[in-house]
Each structure stands twice: as C-alpha cells, then as structure tokens.
Amino acid sequence: MPSELSAYLDANFEPQDHLAVVLINKKARSVIQRLTTTEQIATTPYQQWLRDENAVHYDVYLSMNTLHASATGRRKQDIETIRHIYLDFDHDGNAARKSLLARRDIPMPHYTVHTSPTKWHAIWRVQQFNKEQAEQLQRGLARYTGADPAATDCARVLRLTSTTTSTARRTGSK
C-alpha cells in the first residue's frame, strides 16, 4: 500500500494540501474522520493505520478536493481548491466504465477506481475550477454518462485507491 498510495497522493495533491480521510465500517455503523495534510497521509505510520483499519472492515475514503487549513469538517464551504472532477458509477459500473472509456467526446479520465465488483469511480485532475463550475460539470457529466447524480458535490470523499477492496487504473496521461 505505501508505494501505490504515496504515488497516488504525489500525483494528485501538494504535500501541504489539507484533506479529509474518512473510514466507514458499515457493519459496526462506525465512522472515523480525520483532517490532515497529504504529507501526513503519506507517512509510513499513517498508511499502516489505514491498512490496519481496512483489515478490520473499514472502507477508506479520501476527499478529492482540498480543504482550508482551518476547516473543521468537509462541507462545501470548507473546500479551498478544486483538484478533481469525478463520476461514481454504482449501477452496472463495469459496462458504464467500458462505455466511458470508449467515448471520444469526453476526455479520458486520469484514473478509474474499481471500488467493488460492479462499481467504479472515474477521476480527472483539473485546475482553475471554482466550486460551482465543478459541481455543474459533474451534474452534467452524470446525466450524460449515467453516473450517480447524487455524487456530484465538491466535498465528496471517494474510495481510496490501494485499499483491499479498491484498485486504481491509470487511464489517462499525467
């Protein structure tokens, strides 16, 4: 996990970016949320903690956009910088991903993340979007591609790559 996660963090965030890490154990109905920097998440002890929690049935999620350093939560007003546009394919995700990757009218996502047997996320790195632009684009893309229209808020957390139930596949150029 350290090398894959570290590479993912390095490719997608700056070391001092503030992010939300959310762990969810659906069986135990337990949620743990930590707000910290990319640099801290990339440390060996932090990654070991994530592996340990994942091993006891916590799904690990990461904010896709950065938070203000003073943020105490992950609401829309806590978002500082839009780093990603994303889609969540929960319904027939394998076919939806295949269809998305075959399209020529939408840029190739930088990552597709396989989050469970039939579910995928598509993630694009972006620059110079404000919150409203990002959410408007995500809503439009969700309608256009059949992705989950409820997963279009800029404060969303997505399944973190390199946890035991999640694998990322680079689909676009850096």
* DSSP per-residue letters across 9-28: HHHH--TT-EEEEEEEETTT
Q: How many whole angstroms separate alpha carbon 137 and alpha carbon 159?
A: 21
160: three-class secondary structure by DSSP: coil
In this structure, CATH architecture of domain 2-170: 2-Layer Sandwich (3.30)
Hey, where are the domains in the chain? 2-170
Token pair of 16, please?
């001092």
Per-residue confidence (pLDDT) for residue 174, from 0 to 100: 44
Q: Closest Cα partner for 47 from 87, 13, 7, 103?
A: 7
Cα 171 from Cα 35, distance rounded (Å) = 29
pLDDT at position 124, please?
Answer: 97
Mean pLDDT by 10 residues, the chain (174 residues): 76 96 96 97 94 93 97 97 96 92 94 89 96 98 95 94 50 51
Burial annotation 15-51 (CB, 10 A radius, 16+ → b, else e): eebbbbbbbbeeeeeeeeeebebbebbbeeebbebbb
Predicted confidence at residue 170, as pLDDT, reads: 53
The reported pLDDT for the residue numbered 76 is 97
pLDDT at res. 172: 55
Q: What pTM, to 2 d.p., does this model score?
A: 0.88
Rounded Cα distance between 131 and 135, Å, is 6
- Give the span between the Cα atoms of 120 and 138, in whole angstroms: 15
